[in-house]
Amino acid sequence: MKIAAFEVRPDEHEEFARQALTDDVEIELHAGPLDDGGLEALEGTDAVLVLGHQRYDEALLSAMRERGVRCLVTRTIGTNHIDLEAARRVGIAVSNVSYAPDSVADFTVMLLLVALRKYKPAVYRQNVNDYSLAGLQGRTLSSLTVGVFGTGRIGRAVLERLSGFGCKLLAYDAFGARDLPGGVSFVGLDELLSQSDVLSFHVPLTDETFGMVDARMLARMRDGVVLVNTARGELMDVPSLIGGIEGGKIGALAMDVFTNELDIYHHSLVNEIIANRDMAYLRQFPNTVLTQHMAFYTEQSVCEMVSQAVEAARRLLG
């Protein structure tokens, strides 16, 4: 079985080399995306492994199938960058990976605490030798109600971690309760929004969830609500977020993802001008924390993302 892996980062090389030690696979690594001349290298390739930095539409999928590709595996949990219906039409099997939720869950709790304890302005002050306390008073988790929107593997892992902080925990999922930790109350959407001091989002990006956190949803939340998003940036309607921050409806915002982050996150742009004006505007507020889509980024997750992708290709190709 011949595998071509694209968008390969240097930190993935060791695990790819380990996977290539078996006799049943031959793996070619490409640092760039598939459209960077990658189609030329696909002749005789059975499986393609990718990340989420490129849109796999029907035209690209058809070109892949014409060259013999039978399966496409994304080394991510989300699949919103792949046109799944088009893949079915052209005859390419698709799979994602499901690495352990620990990395994202840990990072989510960290972002939540950073937002509550006003760590961002504290660090800025230290950099100019300002060690004053005025304006840095935070809040304890035990005094708050935290709502988790989405109770899949990551959402449940976040709830498990938060259960040790003594906060009141609420959870909502459109598909119903799923093996929630003890002490968590499963509630309807209205109650989740109206009763939570903090809301953390853990749902996939779909047509139904695209832009769901908008002005109408914000109006149903508590004044001063803290929002945390380590799922997908497009869950949030950015103009509504900006209005919520400016008007004080949102007390703090912590996001590891952002709308139109492609070609920004995971790249060094120290000598560039970032064209995403919403990102540039939001990050200047003292109560907003934006990290570079790195919640997944641990040694354990990187190894699992590669190993599970190769195993998925084996499974799909029989």
Where exactly are the structural domains of the chain?
Answer: 2-99+299-317, 102-290
Q: What's the rounded Cα separation, in Å, for the pair 229 and 154?
A: 12
pLDDT of residue 36: 61
Per CATH, 2-99+299-317 and 102-290 having the same topology is answered yes
Left (φ > 0), alpha (ψ -120 to 50) or beta: where does 96 sit? Answer: beta
Catalytic residue flag (residue 261): yes
DSSP H or E stretch at residue 26: strand 26-29
d(CA 49, CA 45): 11
Per-residue DSSP letter, 51: -
CA dist., res. 38 & res. 50, Å (int): 12
The pLDDT assigned to 35 comes to 79
Classify domain 102-290 by CATH number.
3.40.50.720
pLDDT on residue 318: 82
Q: Which of 7, 15, 261, 304 is catalytic?
A: 261
Of 232, 234, 304, 314, which residue is the catalytic one? 232
Query: Is 12 one of the annotated active-site residues of the chain?
Result: no
Q: What pLDDT score was predicted for residue 265? A: 94
pLDDT reported for residue 40: 82
Question: What order do you get walking across the sheet with 26-29 strand by strand?
Answer: 26-29, 2-5, 47-50, 71-74, 93-95
Catalytic residue among 153, 293, 304, 314: 293
Start-to-end C-alpha separation, the chain: 10
Q: What is the pLDDT of residue 317?
A: 93
Of 65, 21, 33, 59, the C-alpha closest to 47 is: 65
Residue ranges in the chain modelled with pLDDT below 50: none
Please confirm, yes or no, whether 267 is among the known catalytic residues: no
CATH code of the domain made up of 2-99+299-317: 3.40.50.720
Contact 125, 132 (CB under 8 A): yes
